[in-house]
Amino acid sequence: MNLFAGRCPGKPEAVFIFLCQKEKPLSQASKQVDRLSQGGLSRILELGFKGKRKESELLVLPSGRWRLAVLLGVGERKGLNGEVFREAVASGLKRISGYKVSRVEVELLDPGESGLSLEEEARAAGEAFWFASYRYSEFKKPDRVFPKEVWILGADKKARDALFLAQVVGEEHCFARELVNKPGSELWPEKFAEEARRSGRRFGFKVKVYDEKALSRMGYNGIVRVGQGSRRPARLVELSYRGASVREGTIGLVGKGVTFDTGGISLKPPQGMETMKDDMTGAAVVLGVMRAAARLDLKLNLAGVIPLVENMPGGAAQRPGDIIRMADGTTVEVISTDAEGRLILADGLYHCRRLKPKQMIDIATLTGACRMALGRFAIGLMGNSEELLSRISQSGALSGERCWILPLWDDYLELLKSDAAELKNGNWGREAGTIVAGIFLKHFVGEVPWAHLDIAGTAWADEAHPYLGRGPTGKGLRLLVRYLEQVEKTR
């Protein structure tokens, strides 16, 4: 799918028209549709179409420029935001998915007094065409056909630039979801590392891969011990993108990469385990963000660190009660082998620290407790820098990937005290599970400004998301790209 600014030079089959609630004046395209439908649009409004959020209607036009007109309600103007337009576009795509539509024109709303710029409106709509049309088709033919061209009417220069951002973010978002959708039999640590190498060659950033022998020499025993239960050994991928001078410093991104998580010896219940291929969503997001940064030519320096393991209960698997000496010397008692993500992230954060970043952000499907606390609507956000947390939270609101900040007070370390080691990797109580994982990671961060994104509740949709469908959501990628854009603008 390609996004274009302006009027389609060919003959588009459909037009999307946004309608605000409680506003009767028709736009230019609306008036044309009303004329071509011989007053059909006006009659629909008279019969009760209010333009409420998520409300949609389809008009068949007997002649003229378009064959179909899709009316999309966006609610009251004062409540407009990017999510409203993403949901509306998804609703429109659902309406036309059963028809042969290869080209669509979209009329943007006059921003008026909404506070939402034409640029943000165009970006949200453009992203939504990508997000809502994604289907995993490696093993099954797609059940719907989606447009190949989208033409955004009324776009000014800033809106045209925003469409380029939407195109890149949309493609990389779908790339990350494609990785997450792959079964564990198709994607394991070395396979992911190969994908990273291909991405680096294609988009021009450096990729270095550490195998299990190198990881052992470096003392990355968190990664090694989690991965030793699988016949597919662990890897650590280091990505390096240079878009600015050395004096600008480097932003470190760390993504959890458990390509399949059985829970190890602390075996997970069988129901729902098939979705545990999503435990590398953080890794997929970091790789997608690096690709997007290179394609957007961001004037920043980035370091991506991706620890990769398969958590299996093989004969060599670590056991509950084992003690690991981490790369920084900390000893950790393993209470549960299913609390493996924090072990590999601890090594990943330590490795990122060695690259001397000015700040670090990690992203992980880390705790089921996060879904219990925040549901599927918010990302858990923690860290040691109020300024960094605030900026990330703002980027989440702009991108449609909202965050909720949780505390990481040292008091919570009480829950990780071990009689046999300096720390344990969890506890069996139900108290503050998401924060406990965060405070564990904080130990390995040092003084570097750091933020932790727990996407366990948002990374996979059991019920259809309004514009992402069921399955992998790619949550976190939009947020991080938006955050990096904001850093570039303010540096």
* pLDDT value for 113: 63
Please state, for a pLDDT cut of 70, what percent of the chain lies above it.
Answer: 100
Residue 299, C-beta contacts closer than 8 angstroms, at least 6 positions apart: 243, 244, 248, 488, 491
Instruction: Say if residues 460 and 275 touch (Cβ distance below 8 Å).
Output: yes
Cβ contact 189:237 at 8 Å: no
Question: What contacts 301, CB < 8 A, 6 or more positions away?
Answer: 241, 242, 243, 244, 246, 248, 249, 250, 251
Q: Match 């045209």 to its residue by tokens.
A: 160
- CB 162, CB 122: distance < 8 Å: yes
Binning pLDDT at 50, 70 and 90, where does residue 47 land?
very high
Quick check: helix, strand or coil at residue 279?
Answer: helix
**Which 8-state DSSP code applies to residue 110?**
P
The string of DSSP letters for 84-104 reads HHHHHHHHHHHHHTTS---EE
Residue 337: how many other CB atoms lie within 10 Å: 25
Work out whether strand 56-60 and strand 68-73 pair parallel, antiparallel, or are unpaired: antiparallel
Catalytic residue (one of 65, 197, 268, 391): 268
- Confidence band of 79 (pLDDT split at 50, 70, 90): confident
Query: Rounded to 5, what percent of the chain is helix, strand, coil?
Result: 40, 20, 40
The span from the CA of 447 to the CA of 32, in Å, is 61
Region 56-71: what's the mean pLDDT? 95
Each residue's pLDDT tens digit, 245-258:
999 999 999 999 99
Which residues, 6 or more positions from 296, have their beta carbon under 8 angstroms from its beta carbon?
165, 168, 481, 485
* Per-residue pLDDT tens over the stretch 202-246: 999 999 999 999 999 999 999 999 999 999 999 999 999 999 999
| pLDDT for 111 | 80
Question: What's residue 229's pLDDT?
Answer: 98
- CA–CA dist 363, 483 (Å, integer): 14
- Which residues, listed in sequence order, are joined to residue 403 by a DSSP beta bridge? 379
Q: Is 342 a catalytic residue?
A: yes
Instruction: Tell me if residue 236 falls in helix, strand or coil.
Output: strand
pLDDT in tens, 403-414: 999 999 999 999
Q: What is the edge-to-edge ordering of all strands in the sheet holding 331-333? A: 323-325, 331-333, 423-424
Residue 371 has what pLDDT? 95
- Looking at residues 369-394, what average pLDDT do you find? 97
Going from the N-terminus, what domains does the chain have, and what CATH number goes with each? Answer: 2-174 (3.40.220.10), 187-490 (3.40.630.10)
* Averaged pLDDT for residues 380-393: 98
Measured CA to CA, the distance from residue 442 to residue 229 in angstroms comes to 26
pTM of the model: 0.97
By C-alpha distance, which of 304, 292, 313 is closest to 257?
A: 304
pLDDT, one tens digit per residue, over 106-158 is 999 988 766 789 999 999 999 999 999 999 999 998 878 899 999 999 888 99
Decide if 208 is catalytic.
no
Buried/exposed 38-76: b ≥16 CB within 10 Å, e otherwise: eebbbebbeeebebebebbbebebeeebbbbbbbbbbbe
The one catalytic residue in 232, 277, 342, 424 is 342
Check residue 238 and give its pLDDT: 98
Residue predicted with more confidence, 24 or 395: 395
* Nearest residue to 394 (alpha-carbon basis) of 466, 469, 482: 482
Cα–Cα distance, 89 to 127 (Å, whole number) = 9
CB atoms within 10 A of CB 19: 26
Asked which of 21-35, 125-139, 285-299 is least confident by mean pLDDT, the reply is 21-35
For the chain, the average pLDDT equals: 96
**CB-based contact 306:279 (threshold 8 Å):** no
pLDDT attached to residue 268: 97
Bridge partners, 106 (sequence order): 16, 152
